[in-house]
Chains A and B, each alone.
Chain A
Amino acid sequence: MEQILATTLRSAAPLVLVATAGVFAFRAGIFHLGLEGLMITGAFTTVAVGDATGSVELGILAAVGVNLVLSALYWWVIGPLGANVIIAGLGLTSIGLGGTAFALGAIFDKRGSIFTDVVLPRPVRGITSGAGVIVSELSILVWITPLIVLTAWVVLRRSRFGLRLAAVGEYPFAARSVGVNPSIVRLQALLIAGALCALGGAELSVGALRNFTENMTNGRGFIAFVAVIFGAWHPIGAALAGLFFGFADAIGIQSQINITERVPREFVLMIPFVITIFAVWLGGLWRRRSLEAEAGYAELREPDY
């Protein structure tokens, strides 16, 4: 039982962080399918820079920096240059996955994975027996994740910026009419999202583990995006959805150990995707919202001949 709880928290923390990133983007009206790419760049940069400098803090700072640059580029491409949000997002994911695997070969001359000595601090120490052992293995990022989610909630629901963000996502005309520049607000949202993805990636590579592996995000960025939808693009909802998917993952890992005979792991792994299809369907039935993202790719639906 404690085992499942700890595995859940560990699997969920990166998901929740990246899902929070997705919420910021979604509220600005951007279907951010580049989350996966930003997440793996975060994981890689933390390990690469952390290993080179011997400081995990510098590693994370560098990861945040790289992701801010990538997010700004993404904004530039989909905003001022008018590229398709979905395609460019998927492209960003490929750039992240391909780029990190390539850099692994180019910088470290390795294929597959690298190990590192740097690791995130684990604030709870000194427990050597009982259920507490698991708690002491959780990194500091796991502990501050709830704080980040709460902050996101306050920012999105209670701050001027959050309300502007919602206005930009839901009805850019209204935002513009009160003197808000939707494009700048989108940039801000994407930058916040990029930084959060860096944290999520860092937790994956130096929080729970001490290595970077090619394609180690393994679709987590997409699951996080799913959590955004499933959580009705509310920071708390998305966090709970992330927690649930972390739980499903933990059960999947457990079922691999215990009950493989009865429930194949693949079916457990399908749950989030099946749920999402239902959630998207029902969500569409309950409320039809006009999202700027739809307009974003409507351009492709109506090619200029």
Chain B
Amino acid sequence: MTGSLQRVASTVVLVVVSLLLTALILWASGYPVGDVFSGIIQGAVTATGASTSTIRWAIPLLLIGLGVVVGFRAGFFNIGGQGQFYIGACCALAVSLGWREGPAPLVILCGTLAAIGAGTAWSLLPGYLRVRFGTDEVLTTLMMSFIGALVLQYLTAGPMRNPSGTGQTAASERIPDSFRITDSSGVSATVLVLVGGVAVLVWLLLERTRFGLSMTLVGRNPTMARWQGIDVRRVGLAAFALSGALAGLAGAVELYGPGARLVTGFSPEVGFTAVVVALVGLLTVGGTVVAAILFGGLQSAILFLPIVTDLPPPALVLLHGMVAFLVTIKFKAVWRRTGPEAKAAAG
């Protein structure tokens, strides 16, 4: 257990170092660091509605982050969460706008399933190329992510554009209010139960089932896993599918919850932040929940900060970058050579 304790400690240290470095930059640029930090606490926890807002931003991070965890567990690197999230939201929107007169629970169910299906499809293509041909999934998921963002841009500017919209940024029509599962705060009992349930299910799957164990084995050493009689390709595909499904679900939750309509390029950082969240959470379900709340709090705070200081919002992007830049540092680092490393199902 000392090993995992060390990992927790080193991650906490690295996150704190990132915060301090960012604070140093703010201080050097002449911003009152004390005010900024007290503003972050207010905006994330103490101000009216702040903790709700923290949860609201933590939800997509958690769902997409869990997807990243699942992928990593089987040894795959899904950094395309953003695109899967967008495509999921688009499909849920298409279902909801196409079937406005339908009974609300049924439409929401169909829309959510469509979103999950779309997210799955969006990650299964890179997944299939990976397990069948050994195509590098980092590149393909990233490319699919860009394509997903362009699809959203096309839909919100074209076929699904709200014709009466006058704003500068393209946005879709709103879904009927009866389809929404939260108010504009983005948090309700339904959503909390849903997201909590998903987190518990993912935990059970990873830690308490045969399938979860075979995923871990494939992730650690595919060759050995194959000798153990595990169908490495099938496990890999399932991991990709689940990973995309979770990101797609996040898209549906975003639409039926706080969004109600889709704006081109909404939540632009969420996919990448979710990868950081998963890494800060040490690629475990519990850790990811904690990290998602932490980063949700930061997101909520940055929207609140302009009230107390004149800090520009990009400071948050800077902070995320700093955390990502540093969080994977290994204290006992040596540049590992090409060893018997995971060539997953490639061979």
The residue in chain A whose Cβ has the minimal distance to the Cβ of B154 is A266
Known: A229-B139, A290-B338. A87 touches B154 (CB 8 A): no
Say if the beta carbon of B16 comes within 8 Å of chain A: no
Shortest distance in angstroms between B90's beta carbon and chain A's nearest beta carbon? 13
* Residues from chain A with Cβ under 8 Å of B25 in the complex: 99, 102
Interface centre among A37, A273, A288 (most CB of B within 10 A): A273
The residue in chain B whose Cβ has the minimal distance to the Cβ of A81 is B329
Say if the beta carbon of A79 comes within 8 Å of chain B: yes
* Residues from chain A with Cβ under 8 Å of B211 in the complex: none
CA distance A183 to B333 in the complex (A): 13
Which single member of A90, A102, A182 contacts B79 (CB below 8 Å)?
A: A90
- Are the CB atoms of A277 and B321 closer together than 8 Å? no
- Are the CB atoms of A90 and B324 closer together than 8 Å? yes
- Are the CB atoms of B30 and A277 closer together than 8 Å? no
- Are the CB atoms of A295 and B341 closer together than 8 Å? yes
Say if the beta carbon of A146 comes within 8 Å of chain B: no
- Are the CB atoms of B151 and A77 closer together than 8 Å? no
Contact-residue size bin, chain A (C-beta under 8 Å from the other chain): 35 or more
- Are the CB atoms of A106 and B150 closer together than 8 Å? no
* Residues from chain A with Cβ under 8 Å of B150 in the complex: 266-267, 269-270, 273
Interface centre among B79, B147, B314, B336 (most CB of A within 10 A): B314
* Residues from chain B with Cβ under 8 Å of A103 in the complex: 29
- Are the CB atoms of A219 and B146 closer together than 8 Å? yes
Segment at the interface with B among A157-165, A192-200, A278-286: A278-286
CA distance A170 to B344 in the complex (A): 20
User: What are the 9 A-B residue pairs with the smallest beta carbon separation, nearest first?
Assistant: A82-B333, A94-B321, A98-B317, A91-B324, A91-B325, A105-B312, A101-B314, A98-B318, A95-B321
Say if the beta carbon of B72 comes within 8 Å of chain A: yes
Known: A94-B318, A290-B338. A266 touches B325 (CB 8 A): no
Say if the beta carbon of A132 comes within 8 Å of chain B: no
CA distance A104 to B126 in the complex (A): 38
Which single member of B133, B146, B157, B320 contacts A222 (CB below 8 Å)?
A: B146
- Are the CB atoms of B336 and A295 closer together than 8 Å? yes
- Are the CB atoms of B140 and A280 closer together than 8 Å? yes
* Residues from chain B with Cβ under 8 Å of A104 in the complex: 312, 314
Shortest distance in angstroms between A54's beta carbon and chain B's nearest beta carbon? 23
The residue in chain B whose Cβ has the minimal distance to the Cβ of A82 is B333
* Residues from chain B with Cβ under 8 Å of A107 in the complex: 29
Shortest distance in angstroms between B30's beta carbon and chain A's nearest beta carbon? 7
Which single member of B76, B138, B157, B318 contacts A95 (CB below 8 Å)?
A: B318
Which single member of A81, A105, A172, A280 contacts B337 (CB below 8 Å)?
A: A172
The residue in chain B whose Cβ has the minimal distance to the Cβ of A268 is B150
* Residues from chain B with Cβ under 8 Å of A79 in the complex: 335
Say if the beta carbon of A299 comes within 8 Å of chain B: yes
Residues of A84-113 at the interface with B, using a CB-CB cut-off of 8 Å, are: 84, 86-88, 90-99, 101-107, 111
CA distance A273 to B141 in the complex (A): 10
CA distance A294 to B171 in the complex (A): 40
* Residues from chain B with Cβ under 8 Å of A297 in the complex: 77, 138
5 A–B contacts from the bound complex (CB under 8 Å): A91-B327, A274-B143, A296-B336, A300-B328, A304-B7
* Residues from chain A with Cβ under 8 Å of B346 in the complex: 288
CA distance A141 to B172 in the complex (A): 41
* Residues from chain B with Cβ under 8 Å of A139 in the complex: none
Shortest distance in angstroms between B126's beta carbon and chain A's nearest beta carbon? 8
Which single member of B147, B269, B326 contacts A270 (CB below 8 Å)?
A: B147
- Are the CB atoms of B330 and A81 closer together than 8 Å? yes
Which single member of B72, B135, B316 contacts A284 (CB below 8 Å)?
A: B135
Say if the beta carbon of A262 comes within 8 Å of chain B: no
Known: A87-B275, A284-B135. A82 touches B154 (CB 8 A): no
Say if the beta carbon of A264 comes within 8 Å of chain B: yes
Which single member of A99, A295, A301 contacts B338 (CB below 8 Å)?
A: A295
- Are the CB atoms of A31 and B138 closer together than 8 Å? yes
The residue in chain B whose Cβ has the minimal distance to the Cβ of A290 is B338
The residue in chain A whose Cβ has the minimal distance to the Cβ of B141 is A277
Say if the beta carbon of A203 comes within 8 Å of chain B: no
